[in-house]
Structure 1
């Protein structure tokens, strides 16, 4: 496997045609996003791996043993050690066709990535902006905004600006964004923001975030509509929106903001921390309605010294779903003892309703301050 020089990347567009829905791929090849491109053969590439931050893309011929072994070695010798040093949480991988499904299992070795499905939308129809509540306004994400150090949620915005770009400065130079700000005598705050990603060749994708206390109020759509208008005014002609298939709220917002569904695709996710990855596998099985398998994954996570505290909470949900109430109660106690104190998660877990009238439940709620 060979690292391809930036000057040679544009000729990979035909090989990567099956990944056209992803603006990140074109941005890497054009040099509009900082990333790496690996190929099996520099002179005559048949298979390629593209990377931008935590996102990975596979394109071309999947049945390529030397390339497969090269990627497997790169995972073990570079990706995981680098993630450990940098504090990266997980990697995200998609491919351009079914043949990669078998190959990926060989590439990741003994890891246990989760396979999930994402959907892609593209902007097709302008929507009239809705009126903002009194005291709220749309602001550009720029240096002037970032200079307002007292603005609440500014750090969260900065973090999001670096989710797909390497630095805030790189975002300001290559991407665009808007936010909805709320004036408050106690201190102004940001309630929602929408940012462009992988801008190149008059196209991009957009990502959106709304502060928890202001969700379900239409602010996500307002922010998205405002950014789309600014992008169109700048000459952007193709705007994408990607989200998880099960993210009903994001899909509905996309449609309300003028985006149309164009397809879906599989995604592989793997947490670099092994215990966390096992626990995430448990959560995935629980979400998919298999509490027995979920409990087995959680047990593997909890057996490890660095297991996250929420693994005990997830295991409790799985045990309760299986009717193992006493076990669920013990697992919840274990979660609280290890510092898990998310009262909303406790009260929102349908599987735990069977415990709500017990003295043990009331005691746990008192311990986490949710009584």
Structure 2
């Protein structure tokens, strides 16, 4: 396996072409307009490849290339998994595959570090045509303006932290953002309450995303600011405007569709938290709330507790809930641990149906006896 030098990145373009067709970050890495790393198995006729951007990691090509997979496993153990990351601020390693056939290989590559991954499903949208005039949709008490250098300077410490982080992490600095990125914001008075920023640009392609301050949601701001941003994109010559969001995020999906985007494809991703207790706690949450697989939830939460020096109360509490669904007597012991760790919502506890069989037991009556 070869970690490509910057001057060699172009040799990987054909191998990553299919993935790049719906991930502008891949194109941006290969064209060196955003930080990233690229690995291939062979310079002359590459069969398998791995790339890392600020946003995600990507596996492409032949998943049965055993030599490449083993070399990648060792390389990741010495770099990304050891703290040498492209995006040090990202708490997770998220992997996209160009084919489901990569799943067994992914287990070989990362199975000794974190397994299983947190599985999720996203949607990729492409802008097709405007569906509304954002000026007519904008509530009277708001204005939409471009996020330029003058506005950034005027905002100073009032600039929303998420915007500051997006510029610092995604664009490295304000100068690069102003030269190669763009964004539009909704102002309520002098306060920025909604923003749509370019996540990445390269050539005539870009990807954008939107965020709204909670107190100003549900009044059409996200759609209006997104539509204003897309209008700028078209005027600036962007031909491919992408949008990624969770398949379970109806708000983002609705914003995209209302602004003129159409679904290009659904896709799966595989997420690993660098922090081991957090990884297994999040897996437990996924199995409990999303999959309703209580045995698996209990297993993951018990691992999270085992590997954490000081497990938080919510992990003990969720483990107790999962075990209660399985009618395990030990569920009440985990409740005791949750209370000892700071859980105080007695009212919630009394309403959860999975604990009905436990409420007549002596241990239940004694649960709160020693709590603060």
Q: Same fold (TM over 0.5)?
A: yes
Within the alignment, does 1:118 sit opposite 2:130 as a pair? no
Shift of 1:116: 1.7
Shift of 1:257: 1.2
Give the secondary structure class of the aligned counterpart of 1:216: coil
CA distance in 1, matches of 2:224, 2:214: 16
Of residues 133, 147, 151, the one that matches 1:141 is: 147
CA distance in 2, matches of 1:72, 1:29: 22
- The number of aligned residues is 353
Aligned to 1:102: 104
Give the alignment of 1:1-371 within 5 angstroms: 1-19=1-19, 20-82=21-83, 86=88, 88-110=90-112, 111-112=114-115, 113-126=117-130, 127-129=132-134, 130-149=136-155, 152=158, 154-183=160-189, 188-286=190-288, 287-306=290-309, 309=312, 310-319=314-323, 327=331, 334-335=337-338, 338=341, 352=352
Give the secondary structure class of the aligned counterpart of 1:260: strand
CA distance in 2, matches of 1:340, 1:207: 36
- Contact between 2:40 and 2:46, CA under 8 Å: does it hold in 1? yes
Question: Cα distance 1:313–1:219, how it changes in 2: closer, same or farther (>3 A)?
Answer: farther
Shift of 1:321: 5.1
Question: Cα distance 1:324–1:167, how it changes in 2: closer, same or farther (>3 A)?
Answer: farther
CA RMSD of aligned residues (A): 3.2
Give the secondary structure class of the aligned counterpart of 2:49: strand
Give the secondary structure class of the aligned counterpart of 1:205: strand
Shift of 1:61: 1.6
- Contact between 2:325 and 2:354, CA under 8 Å: does it hold in 1? no
Give the secondary structure class of the aligned counterpart of 2:307: coil
Question: Cα distance 1:103–1:124, how it changes in 2: closer, same or farther (>3 A)?
Answer: same
CA distance in 1, matches of 2:338, 2:183: 39
Question: Cα distance 1:215–1:25, how it changes in 2: closer, same or farther (>3 A)?
Answer: same
- Contact between 1:181 and 1:191, CA under 8 Å: does it hold in 2? yes
In the superposition, the TM-score normalised over structure 2's length comes to 0.84
- Which of 1 and 2 has greater Rg? 2
Give the secondary structure class of the aligned counterpart of 2:100: coil
Deviates more, 1:233-242 or 1:297-306: 297-306
Question: Cα distance 1:102–1:151, how it changes in 2: closer, same or farther (>3 A)?
Answer: same
- C-alpha offsets along residues 328-368 of structure 1, whole Å, 9 cap, x if unaligned? 7x756755754679x9xx97x9x84788xx999xx9xxx9x
Shift of 1:297: 1.1
Shift of 1:228: 0.6
- Contact between 2:183 and 2:198, CA under 8 Å: does it hold in 1? yes
- Contact between 2:124 and 2:242, CA under 8 Å: does it hold in 1? yes
Question: Cα distance 1:147–1:254, how it changes in 2: closer, same or farther (>3 A)?
Answer: same
- C-alpha offsets along residues 50-80 of structure 1, whole Å, 9 cap, x if unaligned? 1112511111221111110111012211111
Question: Cα distance 1:36–1:44, how it changes in 2: closer, same or farther (>3 A)?
Answer: same
Structure 1: gaps of 5 or more residues: none
- Contact between 1:301 and 1:307, CA under 8 Å: does it hold in 2? no
In the superposition, the TM-score normalised over structure 1's length comes to 0.84
Shift of 1:164: 3.4
Give the secondary structure class of the aligned counterpart of 1:199: strand
Give the secondary structure class of the aligned counterpart of 1:51: strand
Question: Cα distance 1:29–1:150, how it changes in 2: closer, same or farther (>3 A)?
Answer: closer
